[in-house]
Structure 1
Amino acid sequence: MERIEGINRDRIAWCCADTGITPDLLASELNIAPATFERVMSGQGGLTFNQLKSIAEYFGRGVLFFLEEGPIEVERVHTPAFRTLANQKPEMSAKMRTLIERVEKQRDVYISLREDLENTSLTRFVHPDLPVSDPKASAETARKWLGLSDRNDFDTYRDAIEAKGILVFRSNGYGGKWQIAKESAILGFSLYHPECPVIVVKKQRRDAEQAFTLMHELGHLLLHKSSSIDDEGDFHDAHSVHERSANAFAGCLLVPDRLLATLDPSDRPETVSQYGSWLDPQRKAWGVSAEVILRRLVDVGRLPQEDYAAYRAWISKLDIPQSGSGSREYRHREPKHIFGDRFVRTVLDSLSAGYITLNRATRYLDGLKVSDLHQLERYYAGT
């Protein structure tokens, strides 16, 4: 089989170092013979096109990236937003780094399509005027800005944010290029952009858990005008001022004082194991977890800190099974779950208007088969 000889091996080495993987481990993961890869890296051999393509896909690059001459210009390879996240979590995995860059590319696709559809009513992001030094007041203003009612769930929160020109992606529950690994501590990240910010939320066991992640990331965008990547420690044991303010913002936005006042403290059960049942009506109405409500009760002085800590200790010991990988029966709807309604409608509108080809549309929508894309079109048409 013909082999490509003119490979820029320095770029392969740079990508390995950038993602924290050795060339030997890269060859092993891609099933390339160690001797073959060693010859390539020493400038004495070549790779097949499929092997080079596998390397390019692993690093989220195009094949031509490894055929171009010259050194890498880091400022062109990594955006400022990416470098911000990489500095916040230098230990993040290669797959997470690739996912961040993939999200950035998807955001650029949306902006480009939106420009083509310039006569539509697609909302552009306009930063609201918030009292950023006061997270509670900012949350109250943001809640009005989003137009939220008193009853919500993850989908209504997501729709309200997307209506303001912010894309909201949710990672896959099953393995794939849009998944945040189940074993990863990362719960979400946000990419600030003056025209079109993006929030990415990890799919979790319950939508209520995702709602807090969503609003925490919104807090970073609106309060700090910055990109951020957050793990469980940033939510529960936040040390930085930004993380604490994002937590306060999220809690007050999801459970404002007005709603919190409707809870009758005399009904509180004596044992923490019953807190979930006690708060069940509010959890369902507000689309939040019991922990968020309890945290807010602590903040306003209506629940002792030790009771909240006891509840967290109790629930952390529960053996809550992870949700399954999910059925692929409704494959045509998966792009909507991942990229959100606004992104999917924009792709379909661009296809209908003739701005993009069918092949390009399937690529933008998580590699849907053409038959699935047509089924998605019928789904949106209500037929």
Structure 2
Amino acid sequence: MPKVNPSILRWARETAGFSIEDAADKIGLGAARGLAGSERLAMLEAGEAEPSRPLLLKMASQYRRPLLTFYLAERPVMAARGEDFRTLPEEFAQRDAALVDTLLREVRARQEMVRALLEAEDEAQVLSFVGSFDQDLGAEALATNIVETLGFDLEHFRHGSGRGSTKGFSYLRERVEAAGVFVLLIGNLGSHHSALNVELFRGFALADPVAPFVVINDQDSEQAWSFTLLHELAHIWLGESGVSGGRPTIAIETFCNDIAGRILLPANDIAGEQPLIGATQGRVMARIAAIADARQVSHSMVAYKLYREGIIDQHMWSAVTALYRELWLRNRAAQRDRARESDGGPNYYIVRRHRLGNRLLALSRRMLAEGALSPSKAAAILGVKPNNVYSLTDSAA
């Protein structure tokens, strides 16, 4: 029987973002024979003792690695995740970065399974828009190309399905998925304890020509989802896989933000806006609210657009954006408190369906019915337990 590679035990812990003390606590390795749990774990990582199988199973779960990983002779090559378009605040620790790495790794594995499934069933079609555009052609040309490819109607987005940000997002997502892109909402790794801050990760794109994926951090406000989706679509049109954060400080992120802004709030919509340089914050926020409410977009997006058009300055943009974020966090905390006080909660399958999107659910349901997909593999693609697969896909019908 092969032995566990102790160097991989340490590597798996470190790449999961755990200190040795935290890891010992997570895997339930307590004090024994006069040694603290962290000391016992250090001995395992040094090869001075062999972990039991139950302990290895706990490590696999907490470190989010397949059990087989611990028996490999060499550390596995880290899967390419594309470009990192973020400039992270200094306060984010290795643990936070490791959570994003884990999410990227899991979603990429699911995307590769979807692509392999499409190829095996002769349903793989190369999407011509993936990687079709060059940044040098300009933001206006790319925004126009995306709108035309999606058949996106701005008035329908704003008013066609009823007022409300989620109505507009549902319409946009429908158009994006109809074009061939899988759109998922993911904001944690399975529990609220692993929630991913939007400053750390707002969205990412996997620019595959057959099975492109966009993931949106649903910890962000619902009003911001449409902007993020269009931002990530711009990356797909440019053929760039990568992860985006909350602070656009590099040229490509500003470019993709401009694409989303041009689509959701065209320049002619604010062409008559008077300059607000030197205006009070209250006056600026009142004007932002009027524009946002009328056009079904987020206040933060309007603030960004006004800044890019020179209507407000960078200082004001930064100030109101920080305030909107604070207000959103307070509102979300209040919503959670109300949810805990109320009886029951949203149906698991309805919530999960919304996060997965109709395209992924429809593909899984059809392939299950045709026998091309087993329940266990469908569970891996959908990110659920095998015993939930049929109830989940049936609820999507």
TM over 0.5: yes
Q: Provide the residue aligned with 1:350 in structure 2.
A: 367
Specify whether residues 188 and 178 from structure 1 end up closer, same or farther in structure 2 by C-alpha distance, changes over 3 A only: farther
- Aligned pairs for 1:176-195 (under 5 A) are 176=191, 180-182=195-197, 185-195=200-210
Residue 331 (structure 2) pairs with residue 321 (structure 1): yes
Counterpart among 216, 229, 239 of residue 243 in structure 2: 229
Counterpart among 200, 204, 215 of residue 230 in structure 2: 215
1:67-92 residue CA offsets vs partner (Å, 9 max, x unmatched): 23x22252xxx12226x449976955
Residue 253 (structure 2) pairs with residue 243 (structure 1): yes
The one-letter code of the counterpart of 2:203 is G
Counterpart among 13, 16, 29 of residue 16 in structure 1: 13
Residue 368 (structure 2) pairs with residue 366 (structure 1): no
Counterpart among 280, 296, 302 of residue 305 in structure 2: 296
Specify whether residues 109 and 24 from structure 1 end up closer, same or farther in structure 2 by C-alpha distance, changes over 3 A only: same
Q: Provide the residue aligned with 1:81 in structure 2.
A: 81
Any conservation in 2 of the 1:130–1:141 contact (CA below 8 Å)? no
Deviation at 1:369, TM superposition (A): 6.4
1:14-50 residue CA offsets vs partner (Å, 9 max, x unmatched): 2234444444432222212325423322323222222
Deviation at 1:343, TM superposition (A): 0.9
Deviation at 1:313, TM superposition (A): 6.0
Secondary structure in 2 aligned to 1:31?
coil
1:258-300 residue CA offsets vs partner (Å, 9 max, x unmatched): 5445x7769xxx8654666656675456442133234334444
Q: Provide the residue aligned with 1:252 in structure 2.
A: 262
- Aligned pairs for 1:274-293 (under 5 A) are 283=292, 286-293=295-302
Specify whether residues 277 and 124 from structure 1 end up closer, same or farther in structure 2 by C-alpha distance, changes over 3 A only: farther
**Matches of 1:258 and 1:109 in 2, distance apart?**
43
Any conservation in 2 of the 1:186–1:202 contact (CA below 8 Å)? yes
Deviation at 1:374, TM superposition (A): 3.9
Structure 2 alignment gaps of length 5 or more: 31-36, 158-167
**Matches of 2:152 and 2:45 in 1, distance apart?**
56
Any conservation in 2 of the 1:170–1:201 contact (CA below 8 Å)? yes
**Matches of 1:86 and 1:292 in 2, distance apart?**
19
Q: Provide the residue aligned with 2:164 in structure 1.
A: none
Any conservation in 2 of the 1:362–1:368 contact (CA below 8 Å)? yes
User: For structure 1, which segment, 272-281 or 17-26, has the greater mean C-alpha deviation from structure 2 after superposition?
Assistant: 272-281
Structure 1 alignment gaps of length 5 or more: none
Question: What's the TM-score, normalizing by structure 2?
Answer: 0.77
**Matches of 2:393 and 2:40 in 1, distance apart?**
46
Deviation at 1:104, TM superposition (A): 0.5
Backbone CA RMSD of aligned residues: 3.6
The one-letter code of the counterpart of 1:170 is L
Any conservation in 2 of the 1:125–1:194 contact (CA below 8 Å)? yes
Specify whether residues 305 and 330 from structure 1 end up closer, same or farther in structure 2 by C-alpha distance, changes over 3 A only: same
The one-letter code of the counterpart of 1:354 is G
Deviation at 1:171, TM superposition (A): 1.2
Secondary structure in 2 aligned to 1:195?
coil
**Matches of 2:194 and 2:376 in 1, distance apart?**
23
Deviation at 1:205, TM superposition (A): 5.1
Specify whether residues 353 and 274 from structure 1 end up closer, same or farther in structure 2 by C-alpha distance, changes over 3 A only: farther
Q: Provide the residue aligned with 2:149 in structure 1.
A: 145
Question: What's the TM-score, normalizing by structure 1?
Answer: 0.79
The one-letter code of the counterpart of 2:148 is K
Any conservation in 2 of the 1:335–1:366 contact (CA below 8 Å)? no
The one-letter code of the counterpart of 2:263 is L
Any conservation in 2 of the 1:126–1:164 contact (CA below 8 Å)? no
Secondary structure in 1 aligned to 2:154?
coil
Counterpart among 314, 328, 331 of residue 348 in structure 2: 331
**Matches of 1:11 and 1:265 in 2, distance apart?**
61
1:300-352 residue CA offsets vs partner (Å, 9 max, x unmatched): 45566676566446545647322556775421233322222111111111111
Residue 3 (structure 2) pairs with residue 6 (structure 1): yes
The one-letter code of the counterpart of 1:228 is G
**Matches of 1:25 and 1:359 in 2, distance apart?**
32
**Matches of 1:306 and 1:46 in 2, distance apart?**
57
1:87-108 residue CA offsets vs partner (Å, 9 max, x unmatched): 9769553222111100111111
**Matches of 1:88 and 1:280 in 2, distance apart?**
28
The one-letter code of the counterpart of 2:395 is Y
Number of equivalenced pairs:
362
Any conservation in 1 of the 2:203–2:232 contact (CA below 8 Å)? yes
- Aligned pairs for 1:127-206 (under 5 A) are 127=129, 129-130=132-133, 132-133=135-136, 134-151=138-155, 152=157, 153-172=168-187, 176=191, 180-182=195-197, 185-204=200-219, 206=221
1:177-226 residue CA offsets vs partner (Å, 9 max, x unmatched): 99642486322222333433322211145322122222222222323x22
